[in-house]
Amino acid sequence: MTNDEKTEKQILADIKSGKYREHYLIYNRKSTDEPNSQKNSIAYQKKENTKLAKREKLRIAPITLKGLCVSGVISERHSGFKEDNNIFITKNGMVQYRIERPKFQKLAQFLSQGYFKGVIFLSWDRASRNKGDDTIIGKLMRNGVSVRFAFAQYDNSSAGALHMDVDGMFAAHHSRVTSEKVKLATRNLRSKGVCTYRAPIGYLNEGNMYDKPFDPVRAPLIKKMFELCAEGQWSLSDLARWANKVGLTTVPSRRRRTEEELLAEEEENITIKKTTRPIKFTHVHKILTNRFYTGRILNNDGEFIKSVSHEALITDTVFERVQSILQMRNISTHYETKKNLALRGKVRCDKCKRAYSPYMKKGIQYFKSTCSVNCTNTMKSFNLSFIEDEVGKLIKQLSFTEDELEEIDARADTDVAVLEHKRHQLLEDNQRQITKLRDDLLYLRENRLILLKSELYSPDQLLEEEKDLTNQINSLQLDEQISDISMHKLMKDVILLSELLKDGYKLYQNADSQKKEEIINLVFFELTLSGNDLKYKGKNGFKALENRFSFVCDHIRWFFELTRLADDINESIEDMKIILKGK
């Protein structure tokens, strides 16, 4: 173990021991949708937030954690208006969503557990510009977390709450207006034939939308590639080999930043060099089917129109000749029965939700996606080993860490007692709601004719209203059935499932593809991919392990949610035992 690792472990131990409960953290956010705003700069926010801390004598936690903060100051680059659109609604009506900002998520987790007294933001729009994160901040404040703003003060009254709501509303409105202006400007430019996106290989991107000149090195080679293909004697593989022989490469570009680089502080000044790559078969196909080279661009309706930003590299005659040759070679193979390939229909595009289709090539299984035209997902194909490796990381992540097990053990008695009290309160509330709904339903049935004659309801509306009331009553009655579940036993079951999953992960690492697929189908309901980011939905009892990430601010609600998954947890335990026994 290195000295840095020891230091970080000690810092985390100090945090959890309550050493910094009277200290604050400073949070600065650089908005990616306003790159030139002075108020948006990290340096300016640090300066103003530090002034407030000094003026009000607020103690800043003297801690540095890699990927989170430096000397108690958190800096994050992210659009506050961006949020995950995926939601999960539990049976009792609780709505869950994933926090998009990794540092903000960790901050909320620390604050919800009482490890720090509070946090300092420059203003409300630096903390959040979406309703989901507004809710997180509001709950933290109501739970006693001190949230301070350098540019605003909210007193503890209804007027102060209104002031806060208005600031949150205007922050979200500002982001929406910015987004609308950018989209409108882009649409207007595209309708006039202006190239608002990066020009493909063969043209230069010099920061001017109105001028995309030829690349003096690559443009002649691209033109020659079209001419060779038009002869009808060259395959795409031949053209790829020719391109590499004459020195044609892709445009210099930077690789994707790693998670560590994304979480790095501005002071670290990480630079990623641009590199070129050799031309492959897929590059050749993409070039030869791109009508951009005929002097046209895509407009807002997905149609090609004459460009005012660049000149044609090839004639329409050559382009159409190339398309005709490619079409003749595009032979589809249809099978009477589908081949038995691993993970068919299991992996989908996270953006357009279309499934990745498996296929074999030279003895290796690959996946490809026919995404919708406007899909922004860059991951169009990958091999089986890539998805198996990424799923392995998810399986490992689902199991409890040693720190989490220690925390569950320490909090179990207290949280279960609080949960029992809350559960009784919820049951009482449910009974009151059921009584009211039954009264409403009885009123509708007894006054049906009067309501119809007065035209307050149409017959269809009346039936729909009765159906809705009945469904609400049934749902609340289902909540009441969850009453005699032992929370201590349930926690033991969840921990047992986690331990079995750890054994399953060890088995997974050394298993063949068939066994891996069996484990994947047991644990995951669905896998979605966007770029290199693999997301998932847990299946049956494994949802209990997944849900703990959604309830970072409310452990009690997570414990309560376990009661609804009790049967699923037991079922998943038995399924895991069967898989492990059959290894």
Question: What CATH number is given to the structural domain containing 228?
Answer: 3.90.1750.20
Same-domain pairing of 34 and 95: yes
Residue 520: closest CA among 402, 393, 400, 363? 393
Q: What digits encode the pLDDT tens for the residues 324-337?
A: 888 876 654 444 55
> Is residue 29 in some structural domain?
yes
pLDDT band at 191 (very low <50, low <70, confident <90, very high): confident
49 lies in some domain: yes
**434: number of Cβ within 10 Å:** 18
Band (483; pLDDT cuts 50, 70, 90): very low
Report pLDDT for 480: 53
Among the candidates 117, 146, 176, a domain finishes at: 176
Residue whose C-alpha is closest to residue 561's, from 549, 546, 544, 573: 544
Q: Are residues 156 and 200 in the same domain?
A: no
Average pLDDT in the chain: 80
C-alpha 524, offset from chain centre: 17
Residues 410 and 516 in one domain: yes
Q: Is 373 a residue whose pLDDT tops 70? A: yes
Partners of 358 in the β-ladder: 367
DSSP assignments along 355-424, one per residue: BPEEEEETTEEEEE----TT------EEEHHHHHHHHHHHHHHHSPPHHHHHHHHHHHHHHHHHHHHHHH
* 346 pLDDT above the threshold of 50: yes
Q: What is the spatial distance between Cα 344 and Cα 358, in angstroms, rounded to a whole number?
A: 6
**Does 200 lie in the same domain as 99?**
no
| pLDDT confidence tier of residue 3, bands split at 50, 70 and 90 | very low
The verdict on 110 and 171 lying in the same domain is: yes
Same domain, 282 and 221: yes
**The pLDDT of residue 1:** 46
Q: pTM, whole model, 2 decimals?
A: 0.43
349 in a structural domain: no
103 versus 373: the higher-pLDDT residue is: 103
Query: Could you tell me if 218 and 108 lie in one domain?
Result: no
H helix intervals, 192-249 = 219-230, 236-245
Q: Is the pLDDT of residue 242 over 90?
A: yes
Range of the domain at 563: 402-417+484-581
How many helices (DSSP H) and strands (DSSP E) are in the chain? Answer: 20, 15
Question: 195-207: string of b/e by CB count within 10 Å (b at 16+)?
Answer: beeebbbbbbeee
Least confident range of 25-39, 225-239, 316-330? 25-39
Mean pLDDT for 467-486 is 64
Provide the token pair at 539. Answer: 């299946």
pLDDT of residue 454: 64
Q: What pLDDT score was predicted for residue 484?
A: 43
Dihedral pair phi/psi, residue 32, rounded to 5°: -75, -10
| Contacts of 402 by beta carbon, 8 Å cutoff, 6+ apart | none
In a domain? residue 369: no
Domain co-membership, 30 together with 145:
yes
pLDDT at 551 exceeding the cut of 70 = no
Q: Same domain for 25 and 151? A: yes
Residue length, the chain?
583
In a domain, 443, yes or no: no
What CATH number does residue 59 fall under? 3.40.50.1390
Q: What is the pLDDT of residues 203-215, one digit of tens each?
A: 999 888 899 999 9
Residue 264: exposure state from Cβ atoms within 10 A (0-12, 13-18, ≥19) = middle
Question: Under DSSP, is residue 121 helix (H, G, I), strand (E, B) or coil?
Answer: strand
The confidence score (pLDDT) of residue 141 equals 86
Confidence of residue 87 (pLDDT cuts 50, 70, 90): low
Give the per-residue pLDDT at 486.
62
Model confidence at 189: pLDDT above 50 = yes
Residue 181 has pLDDT above 50, yes or no: yes
Instruction: Look at residue 187 and tell me if it is in a domain.
Output: no
pLDDT for residue 281: 83
The helix/strand/coil state of 251 is: coil
Q: Which of 300, 332, 364 is the last residue of a domain?
A: 332
User: Is 36 in the same domain as 172?
Assistant: yes
Q: Does residue 506 lie in a domain region? A: yes
Sign of the dihedral defined by the CA atoms of residues 557, 99, 391, 539, in that order: positive
Share of the chain above pLDDT 90, in %: 24
What is the C-alpha R_g of the chain? Answer: 29
> What domain count does the chain have?
3
My answer on whether 98 and 233 are in the same domain is no
Query: Which band of pLDDT confidence, cut at 50, 70 and 90, is reported for residue 382?
Result: very high
pLDDT computed for residue 573 by the predictor = 92
Q: What is the pLDDT of residue 303?
A: 84
Tokens 């960790």 belong to residue: 106
Region 198-204 average pLDDT: 92
Q: Do 166 and 202 lie in a common domain?
A: no
Q: Which of 309, 332, 355 is the last residue of a domain?
A: 332
**CB < 8 Å & 24+ apart, contacts of 111-114:** 111/140, 111/145, 112/140, 112/143, 112/145, 112/552, 112/553, 112/554, 114/18, 114/21
* pLDDT tens per residue, range 387-438: 999 999 999 988 988 888 887 777 666 655 555 565 666 667 777 777 887 8
